Homo-oligomer: A and B are copies of this chain.
Amino acid sequence: MRNFAGTPGTVTALILRLLQCLFAAASIASMASTKSFFSFTSFSYLIASMGLQVIWSFGLAFLDACALAKKKVLHNPGLLSLFVVGDWVISMLSLAAASSSAGITVLYFNDLGSCGFVECQKYQLAVALAFMSWITIGISSLIMLSTLAAAVS
């Protein structure tokens, strides 16, 4: 079986997971530092979804770090299937949360034009970071899927 970059237990996988954590945590920080996020359902959902992503990615980063320390590559099909399904579910939730928040941000900033400058910049930053975290988890899940395909065949 090929041990390509990004397979669980490699440095690339660890870096991708840490980036996901970083972007998601930064998105939460940016959103939570605004004064009125709790009055928007979508923004609260963004925080919940990014929180879930931080937990998931941190767990997998920890697993990658352990596998790296023991110089062992994870290729158990059962475990990989779990990771693939988890990654897809989390990435769908992240995309939905980022999109719904982006919809509201565009509405306030562009369509209505009624948005406090600093607040709106924080919202936009949070949404941009959420999309970055979605892109990194998307890359991870595609690599996971190809690893699973290689492991099963």
- Please list the residues of chain A having a beta carbon within 8 angstroms of any beta carbon in chain B: 39-42, 92, 95-97, 99-104, 106-107, 110-111, 149, 152-153
Contacts and interface: CB of A to CB of B under 8 A. Distances in A.
Contacts of A149: 149
A133 to B, nearest CB: 15
Contacts of A42: 103, 106-107
Contacts of A110: 41
A108 to B, nearest CB: 9
Nearest to A97: B99
Contact of A104 (B96, B103, B152): B103
Contact of A107 (B40, B92, B97, B99): B40
A103 B103 CA distance: 6
Q: How many copies of this chain sit in the oligomeric assembly?
A: 2
Contact of A103 (B99, B111, B153): B99
A149 B102 CA distance: 35
Contacts of A103: 41-42, 99-104
Nearest to A108: B107
Contacts of A111: 39-41
16 contacts: A40-B107, A41-B107, A42-B103, A42-B106, A42-B107, A92-B95, A96-B96, A99-B103, A100-B102, A100-B103, A100-B106, A101-B103, A102-B103, A103-B103, A104-B104, A152-B153
A141 to B, nearest CB: 11
